[in-house]
Amino acid sequence: MKKVSPKIIVAMTCLVFLVFGLFNGSIGPIVKELSYQTNSTLGAIGGVLTFLFMGALISMFVAGPLTDRFGKKIVMVISLFFLSAGIIGLCSTQSLPLMFFFFFFTGLGQGGMEVSGNLVVAEAFPENNTGIMNLLHFFYGFGAFSGPAIISLAISNNLSGKVVLWFAAGLFAVLSVLYIILYTNKPKTSSLSLTENSVIPANVYHSPLLWLTGAMLLTYVGVEFGLGSWSTTFMEMSARLPIQQGALVTSAYWGFITLGRLAGLVLSRKLKSLQLLGLAALGSLIGGIALMFFTGTTTAAIAIIMFIGLCFGTVYPSTIAFTSDAFTNNQGKAVGLVSAFGSIGGLTLPWMAGLILENNTPLTFVIFETAIIVTMLALFFGVRMTTKKHKYS
């Protein structure tokens, strides 16, 4: 069969991430519908997110080594099948325990798809890894931004919000077939691209660079979702903003993160991944400090939250781009571990931020979030010093 253009493979993977974002962004708006479906309380059905991210966390650890051993194709195809089957299951079951199982099953597919999708794109355009990674995650952000809007439209026309999930399940199934037909694993090379003084030891898991990068992503995902999850409540508590207007602030925050990924795509023509990360971390720190001084205001606080979102946009894709560049011969293991660290941050730090906001003042919440940004910046300098001390190509 004639070799398929890398542009087609990237376009296909961008569509996967758009549907991925569509699914993730739609969960919140249909939680109430899922509670009716399983005859359970909102508090009980809220556990679906825990099971989803638990499955993703487990599969990220497993998918990396499997990708290095068997190639990206098989991991991507199986992951897309898990996503499709899991979503169909969770849309159909009326049992809460089965709902949790299907969300866990879907999470297994989500983690494997995220790891293999990042690697597919990194392989397609290695000469502009950072830019193409920002483009890929822009599509995820666009999907996450669009999902709630489509659900709102569906409900206003007396349709079930789950129509978006059924649509996602169908597209995941179609895309799994397209990967079987169109995508071909590149042969694995045994030659190392790393220099003699490389930071990468024989066992990639012994690399200080890998753990520093993972810890940096953990703090980033924690503060990104902490601010995203609680910005509505923060604006309500600090500026007495009505909840419906606070929800628009949250939507705009995620929208600016998506715009930040477009900015990362443009800036990647001039800046390398580490330079983009440093710029983003410094900008978000300035935003965090500014928010301390303007907590309690409306217009200024909203503008600062949007600015922080814009700075945040490039961090995740640029970190994944850097990781795949630094660990050329163990990309699956490295990207899988770093992505798993990100999931750990998403599972823990936003929960802590919510407790702080609930039991303290909004200013204390901002100080906590800014402290995480400071930690992220410190870890960035650790990554930067490690790469300077031990060169890699």
Q: Kindly report, residue by residue over 20-50, the tens digit of the pLDDT.
A: 988 888 887 777 788 889 988 866 776 787 8
- Give the list of residues 6+ apart from residue 186 with CB closer than 8 angstroms, or none: 123
> What is the pLDDT, as a whole number, of residue 6?
86
Q: Kindly report, residue by residue over 137-190, the tens digit of the pLDDT.
A: 999 988 887 887 787 788 778 788 888 899 999 999 999 999 999 988 776 544
Domain finish residue from 147, 182, 217: 182
Question: Same domain for 165 and 243?
Answer: no
- Give the list of residues 6+ apart from residue 106 with CB closer than 8 angstroms, or none: 52, 55, 82, 83, 86, 87, 89, 90
Q: Kindly report, residue by residue over 346-372, the tens digit of the pLDDT.
A: 888 888 888 898 899 999 999 999 999
Q: What is the mean pLDDT of residues 379-386?
A: 95
**What is the band of 192 on the pLDDT scale with cuts at 50, 70, 90?**
very low
Q: CA 14, CA 122: separation in Å to the nearest integer?
A: 12
Question: Same domain for 169 and 208?
Answer: no
Q: Kindly report, residue by residue over 118-144, the tens digit of the pLDDT.
A: 999 988 887 778 888 999 999 998 888
Q: Kindly report, residue by residue over 154-169, the tens digit of the pLDDT.
A: 877 878 888 889 999 9
Residue 103: CATH number of its domain: 1.20.1250.20
**What is the band of 391 on the pLDDT scale with cuts at 50, 70, 90?**
low
Rg (alpha carbons) of the chain, rounded to whole number: 20
Question: Same domain for 98 and 213?
Answer: no
Residue 298's domain spans which residues?
Answer: 204-389
**What is the band of 200 on the pLDDT scale with cuts at 50, 70, 90?**
low
Question: Same domain for 114 and 148?
Answer: yes
Residue 145 near residue 254 (C-beta atoms within 8 A): yes
The verdict on residue 84 lying in a domain is yes
Q: How many domains does the chain have?
A: 2
Question: Same domain for 308 and 169?
Answer: no
Q: Kindly report, residue by residue over 286-342, the tens digit of the pLDDT.
A: 999 999 999 999 999 999 999 999 999 999 999 999 998 888 878 888 998 999 999
Question: Same domain for 287 and 172?
Answer: no
Q: CA 216, CA 329: separation in Å to the nearest integer?
A: 22
Residue 186 near residue 68 (C-beta atoms within 8 A): no
Q: What are phi and psi of 314, to 5 degrees?
A: -85, -10
Q: CA 168, CA 361: separation in Å to the nearest integer?
A: 40
Question: Same domain for 255 and 120?
Answer: no
Here the tokens at position 172 are 């995941």
The verdict on residue 350 lying in a domain is yes
Q: What is the pTM of this model?
A: 0.83
> What is the pLDDT, as a whole number, of residue 31?
76
Alpha helix ranges (H) inside 157-201: 163-182
Instruction: Identify residue 367 by its one-letter amino acid code.
Output: I
Domain finish residue from 132, 152, 182: 182
The verdict on residue 35 lying in a domain is yes
Q: What are phi and psi of 238, to 5 degrees?
A: -90, -35
Q: Kindly report, residue by residue over 203-221, the tens digit of the pLDDT.
A: 778 889 999 999 999 999 9
The verdict on residue 381 lying in a domain is yes
For the packed helices 48-70 and 96-124, what is the interaxial angle rounded to 10 degrees?
A: 40
Host H or E run for residue 148: helix 129-156
Question: Same domain for 85 and 232?
Answer: no
> What is the pLDDT, as a whole number, of residue 188?
56
Bigger pLDDT: 196 or 42?
42
Q: CA 336, CA 330: separation in Å to the nearest integer?
A: 10
Question: Same domain for 171 and 213?
Answer: no
Question: Same domain for 354 and 317?
Answer: yes
The verdict on residue 195 lying in a domain is no
The verdict on residue 64 lying in a domain is yes
Question: Lowest mean pLDDT: which of 44-48, 71-75, 104-108?
Answer: 44-48
Question: Same domain for 253 and 373?
Answer: yes
Question: Average pLDDT, whole number, for the chain?
Answer: 87
264 pLDDT above the threshold of 70: yes
Domain finish residue from 149, 182, 215: 182
Q: Kindly report, residue by residue over 214-262, the tens digit of the pLDDT.
A: 999 999 999 998 888 788 888 989 999 887 677 778 778 888 999 999 9
The verdict on residue 250 lying in a domain is yes
DSSP states along 217-268: HHHHHHHHHHHHHHHHHHHHHHH---HHHHHHHHHHHHHHHHHHHHHHHHHT
The verdict on residue 193 lying in a domain is no
Question: Same domain for 257 and 357?
Answer: yes
For the packed helices 208-239 and 315-326, what is the interaxial angle rounded to 10 degrees?
A: 180
